């Protein structure tokens, strides 16, 4: 596999195997993306990436991490996303969106204002979770979802997926990582339910699989569908790679095309051995044992490093987050480094 060769996922062909990872901008008002999002995401499409993911986008107001998150729970938000998706597609990249529910990590201040839980007087709300367990010892206790609440979550993902299709996105990713709601259901550290959504792995995976089924109702094959997972909690007794491999096999049968392999985020005290490419082995094992395409992400910063991941057969797609914040034109720099011709947009061709 070559970094800059086309790749077909579901019914769509990406122009290369480089993706812009979804990265929260915390710059929306009432869930509405704005000029910041259009320029931020559009410049990465002009920069040559094969797929450009919009940030974690809440499927309901209570599913936001912060009051400044983007959303897709109403028609105004759908209309605001539409020109952004169109611009990304017009410049050769696949417009993608990550649909999310923050669970017990909801109702926080934006990171540059401390990221702490917001009281109601400052715009906060009661977070939702599988069980009434706070993420931190001194954190707010979330409200455990009852059956009716679970149905509302599933319905919200379905409705958001339908709006994503209408807005012109070509790829949906369901966020089931980083300690947010669907990951909370997966992990025994956050899920202590005694009903059909807790206990054994099949029960803990039930909500995610029901969400996938609901999304597939309005996002039919061959439209590509991805799921981001945390392959491990990095905590003994927590969610781990063995369970994640089993889950990936089930998700493949449910109609998922791609597993985006991240890790951590569930508990604050986890010790994450962050170093270049530290999550690539998860993508490699899931790809090999579950027989599903994977995306590698996490401290991948260079063209040669990304090419080595693909050459080793560890993943089918390489997603870069912070490196794309530093350099919207990473893909053009990678093409020059790997001596692969890459046509520039006409207004930029005099520079190439």
Asked if 161 and 172 touch (Cβ cutoff 8 Å), the reply is yes
* CA–CA dist 224, 103 (Å, integer): 25
3-state secondary structure 130-163: CCCCCCCCCCCCCEECCHHHHHHHHHHHHHHHHH
Give me the DSSP letters along 239-252.
--HHHHHHHHHHHH
Q: Is 348 helix (H, G, I), strand (E, B) or coil?
A: helix
Paired residues of 259 in beta bridges = 227, 294
Paired residues of 143 in beta bridges = 128
Paired residues of 296 in beta bridges = 261, 318
**24-60 core/surface letters (b: 16 or more CB in 10 A; e: else):** bbbbbeebebeeebbebbbbbbbbbbbbbbbbbbbbb
Which of these, 175, 164, 168, lies nearest to 297 by C-alpha position? 175
**Which residue out of 180, 197, 329, 348 is catalytically annotated?**
180
* CA–CA dist 294, 117 (Å, integer): 33
**294-329 core/surface letters (b: 16 or more CB in 10 A; e: else):** bbbbbbbeebebbbbbbeeebbbbbbbbebbeebbb
* CA–CA dist 90, 11 (Å, integer): 18
Sheet strands (E) in 29-77: 51-58
Cα distances from 112 to residues 58, 95, 249, 254, 317, in angstroms, run 20, 28, 39, 39, 31
Q: Is 197 marked active-site?
A: no
> Which residues are marked as active site?
180
């Amino acid at each position: 596999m070559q970094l800059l060769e086309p790749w077909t996922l579901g019914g769509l062909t990406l122009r290369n195997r480089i993706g812009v990872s979804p990265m929260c901008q915390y710059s929306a008002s009432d869930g509405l993306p704005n000029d910041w999002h259009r320029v931020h995401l559009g410049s990465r499409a002009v920069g040559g990436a094969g797929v450009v993911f919009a940030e974690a986008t809440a499927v309901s107001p209570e599913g936001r991490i912060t009051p400044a998150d983007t959303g897709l729970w109403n028609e105004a938000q759908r209309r605001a996303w539409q020109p952004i998706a169109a611009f990304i597609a017009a410049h050769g990249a696949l417009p993608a969106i990550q649909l999310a529910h923050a669970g017990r990590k909801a109702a926080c201040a934006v990171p540059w204002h401390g990221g702490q839980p917001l009281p109601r007087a400052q715009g906060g709300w009661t977070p939702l979770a599988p069980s009434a367990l706070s993420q931190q010892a001194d954190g707010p206790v979330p409200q455990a979802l009852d059956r009716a609440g679970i149905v509302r979550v599933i319905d919200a993902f379905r409705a958001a997926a339908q709006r994503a299709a209408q807005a012109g996105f070509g790829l949906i990713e369901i966020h089931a990582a980083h300690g947010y709601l669907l990951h909370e259901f997966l992990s025994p550290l956050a899920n202590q339910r005694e009903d059909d959504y807790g206990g054994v792995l099949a029960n803990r995976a039930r909500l995610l699989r029901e969400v996938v089924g609901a999304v597939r109702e309005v996002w039919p094959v061959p439209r590509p569908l991805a799921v981001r997972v945390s392959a491990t909690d990095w905590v003994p007794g927590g969610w781990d790679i063995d369970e994640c491999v089993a889950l990936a096999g089930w998700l493949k049968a449910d109609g998922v095309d791609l597993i985006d392999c991240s890790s951590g985020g569930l508990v604050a005290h986890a010790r994450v051995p962050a170093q270049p490419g530290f999550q690539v082995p998860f993508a490699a094992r899931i790809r090999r044992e579950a027989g599903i395409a994977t995306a590698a992400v996490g401290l991948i910063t260079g063209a040669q490093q990304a090419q080595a991941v693909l050459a080793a057969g560890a993943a089918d797609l390489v997603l870069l987050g912070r490196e794309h914040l530093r350099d919207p034109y990473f893909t053009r720099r990678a093409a020059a480094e790997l001596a692969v011709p890459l046509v520039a947009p006409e207004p930029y061709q005099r520079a190439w």
